[in-house]
Amino acid sequence: MKKVIISAVFLLSVTASFAQFNFGIKAGYTSSLGVNNLGSVTSGAYNLNSVNSDLSNGFQAGVFARFGFKKLYFQPEFLYDMGKKNYTMTIQDAQSNNIQFNKRVNISTLEVPLLLGYKLLDLKLVNLRAFAGPKLRFNAGSSLDYNNLSSGGSVTQDQLIKDIKAAQLGLEAGVGIDFLMFTLDARYNVIKDMYQTKLSSVTIDNLQANTFVISLGWKFF
């Protein structure tokens, strides 16, 4: 035990001598808009309903740490992401009958970005950064609900399968500005859809998971 304590103290002292360490809290706004249907924009088929089915808004909050080595830095984060989305979608059954139902998505995830950054501009009071890295996403109680399923077709509500993945791996990149103890980031993350609706084994609807994030942080030290 004594050797472990001595090793830990030595490691901390070495890290402190070569690296700058920051710790703080942050909060941000998230918004997603799918690009899968952009081809329909020129044809005029992209309407308000298709926008609503792609667009989602949310909020995230958590903590971050930053280990700086001259202009390079490593920044792990631990964030809780939440949001809601309600929209009406239309599907066709085997007899080509149109069936409508309301879909409600409650988003609740834990996100762990592991970012490697570089200071493009490093001044005493302000700096400009660029960063990228993998992001882990874990389901923390998200849910899908369906109601008001229209009649006239052969599909029942029990046949709609809810598929919510437990964990995912994505990629996140962006730019940021630090001023005194405040940090402002704009980033985009690429990740597969976590929430899907299936009919038998066929995916008939998903919720866009790629998001834009604007966040503001405060470094305690």
Q: Are 125 and 179 a contacting pair, CB within 8 Å?
A: yes
For 7-49, write each residue's pLDDT tens digit: 555 555 545 554 689 999 999 998 875 555 454 444 555 555 5
Separation CA 43–CA 31 (nearest Å): 25
- The domains of the chain, with CATH numbers, are 20-219 (2.40.160)
> Residue 142: phi, psi to the nearest 5?
-65, 155
Q: Is the pTM of this model over 0.85?
A: no
For 67-116, write each residue's pLDDT tens digit: 998 899 999 999 999 988 777 777 666 666 677 777 778 889 999 999 99
